[in-house]
Amino acid sequence: MATKFPAALSPTGSVSPNAGPEGGAPPPRRSAALRGVDRIGDFWIVGVLIVMVVAFGLKSPDHDLFTRASWLNTSDYAVEFLILAVGETFVIITGGIDLSVGATLGFTGMVSGAVMQSMLNGHDNSLLTTVVGFAVALLLGAAIGFVNGYLITRLKLPPFIVTLGSLTAIGAAPALINGGNEIATLPSQLTTIGSTEIGGWIYVTVVIAGAVCICMGFVLHRTRFGLRTYAIGSNNLGARRAGINVDAHLVRVYTISGVLGGLAGMMVTANLSVAAPLAGTNDELNAIAAVVIGGASLFGGRGHMLGTVVGTFIIALLVTGLVLVGVSGSWQQVATGIIIVAAVAVDQVRLRLAER
């Protein structure tokens, strides 16, 4: 883990700027004001999202962005890597990274699809098949995440390397299942989840993703597990000295990420009504981008769930928005890249200003 210096001791900051306050007592009003600026600053990315909505809305022909169809498209597209980004938020806050989530999505989707197909071919009950399908995907995802976490903590390997290995190995696996062909024999309950809009506006998959976000947001920001996740990313050695079982915690965090990869796999299968071998390809990059745009630091210790949600919608909106205003889809990648760098740059500047 990278050793992090407290702000005042950072190589660039030197001790002096912060050194005096408690002697002469800091003017409390100024520090309160500073915190206020910080808090608004934390949500500047929300402003970016709003500007994007307005801009794309006005620019799109007949204000198409504000139609039901475009909302359904955007939210539907967002579900997939929103779920991945939730797990990635935990991982990145610990100071790690999980590159394997997209591959986990594709692999779990295919395996669970194959299991469901064989159950249906044996004329099994459709509801039971759906339940078994979910169980297979979630457990398989958990197993992948557990192995990632185990290798990272026991062999002391960098998360980047371990999950890059998982990505490479698991990424190839879907091609070996069902001859690399899509699996379309799926239980009707599952495809219903993917195609039903509640009240005509919200897909069931969006509801599921939203529930995951809310639950895991509370876990991150309100529970002991969340606090320790931050503590590990902020000061790994300090967390160990405080009696936290850091290795066990990290294994749990990567396992959560894997489980959510499995859940995302099921959501994609439900959406497409087929289990597709190429599902999830490159999704890890979108998930990581969403987390980073949302204000998380790749050095760990910083990030929040709301930021991740906003970051996810910024990326999803770029895709649908650019398509609506008639820009080629390839530009979406260019725009995403620019936004990632810009988001981190703005964050760094903010931090430096706050340390003054």
Partner 1 sequence: MSELEVGPLAGERVPVIATRGVTKHFGSVQALRGVDLEVYGGEVLGLVGDNGAGKSTLVNILSGAFQPNSGSLFVDGKRVTFGSSLEARRAGIETVYQDLSLAPDLAVWANIFLGREQTVKGPLRLVGWLDRKTMAREAEADLERTRIRIGSVKALAGRLSGGQRQAIAVGRAVAWGSKVLLMDEPTAALGVEQQAKVGELVRSVSDQGVPVLLISHNLPQVHALCDRVVVLFQGRVVADLRPADVSVEEIVSWITGASLAATTATVGALLRSTGHDGEPGYDGGPGHDREPGSGGGSGNNGD
Stretch that binds partner 1, among 23-31, 45-53, 152-160, 261-269 (CB under 8 A): 23-31
CA distance 252 to 342: 32
Contact pick of 171, 294, 301, 311 for partner 1 (by CB under 8 A)? 301
Contact pick of 72, 244, 298, 306 for partner 1 (by CB under 8 A)? 244
348 binds partner 1 (CB under 8 A): no
Residue 325, Cβ neighbours under 10 Å: how many?
A: 15
123 binds partner 1 (CB under 8 A): no
Tell me the site size for partner 1, rule CB under 8 A. 41
Cβ distance 202 to 64 under 8 Å? no
Name the residue nearer to partner 1 (CB basis): 284 or 302: 302
Torsional class of 202: left (φ above 0), alpha (ψ -120 to 50), beta (otherwise): beta
Name the residue nearer to partner 1 (CB basis): 54 or 354: 354
73 binds partner 1 (CB under 8 A): no
Structure tokens at 34: 């500073």
Question: What are the residues whose beta carbons fall under 8 Å from the beta carbon of 351, sequence distance 6 or more?
Answer: none
36 binds partner 1 (CB under 8 A): no
25 binds partner 1 (CB under 8 A): yes
51 binds partner 1 (CB under 8 A): no
Structure tokens at 81: 């890597």
Quote the Cα angle for 70-72-75, to 5°.
105
CA distance 134 to 130: 6
CA distance 10 to 249: 28
Contact pick of 29, 39, 156, 224 for partner 1 (by CB under 8 A)? 224
Give residues in contact with partner 1 (CB under 8 A): 4, 6-9, 15, 18-23, 25-26, 28, 31, 35, 219, 222-225, 227-228, 230-231, 233-235, 237-244, 301-302, 354-355
